[in-house]
Amino acid sequence: LGCPLELTPHHLSASPTVTSEQIEHLHRRFKQLSRDQLTIRKENFDSIPDLEFNPIRGKIVHAFFDKRNLRQESEGLADEINFEDFLTIMSYFRPIEMNMDEEQLDRFRKEKLKFLFHMYDSDHDGKITLQEYRNVVEELLSGNPHLEKESARSIADGAMMEAASICVGQMGPDQVYEGITFEDFLKMWQGIDIETKMHVRFLTMETIAHCY
């Protein structure tokens, strides 16, 4: 976000103090995006310039309506989200609290990675095939104008092979690897600072103000 976000909906477990200023800040964003309606629909994201050329635009938008991320159901997409739903999604992007203990930090990190896992797991089956993982990496790299397609493919291939080495390990000749589970996903992201890498810059006030 354009400024620090320390906000969690009341029904989440590790809830930091929420100020009225923080609520108002996000409510202004919600109203601008919804055009003063009570709910946001997928088409409201069509007017955000920063998303127009994002290579994984569809996955980002789906993440906002994914019922798993909304903590509603295990599969499916919501047709629209209200302000409380919006706060639930924004909670995945809040920064680390200085007073968090190790258990809270671990839960905090897993929440963020679960959100990211759901973006990869588009068919809601709880697994990501290695090829699906490779495709997402290549999609992400395709948005870099300084990277040639062949280079992007090569990097994506390397990412897939690295994922395979972490997740598959030593397999017997009769074993079939069905896909990356969330536990595998945690292994892949071990040691990577996910806490500072999840941003939603397209929701800054300045960006939305130019959507009309």
CATH label, 19-92, candidates 1.10.238.10, 3.40.50.10860, 3.90.420.10, 3.40.50.720: 1.10.238.10
- Domains of the chain by residue range: 19-92, 101-194
Domains 19-92 and 101-194 in one fold:
yes
Helix%, strand%, coil% for the chain, nearest 5: 50, 5, 45
Return d(Cα 129, Cα 159) in angstroms, integer: 13
Reply yes or no on domain 101-194 having CATH 3.40.50.1820.
Answer: no
Per-residue model confidence (pLDDT) at position 74: 79
Q: Encode the chain (212 residues) as per-residue pLDDT tens digits.
A: 333 333 333 334 444 455 678 788 889 989 999 999 999 999 999 878 778 778 888 898 999 999 999 998 778 999 999 999 999 998 888 877 778 888 888 888 899 999 999 999 988 899 999 888 999 999 989 888 889 999 999 999 999 888 888 887 655 556 566 789 999 999 988 888 776 667 666 665 444 333 33
Per-residue model confidence (pLDDT) at position 18: 57
Return d(Cα 72, Cα 69) in angstroms, integer: 8
Per-residue model confidence (pLDDT) at position 25: 86
- Of the chain, the end-to-end C-alpha distance in Å amounts to 20
Residue type, 37: Q
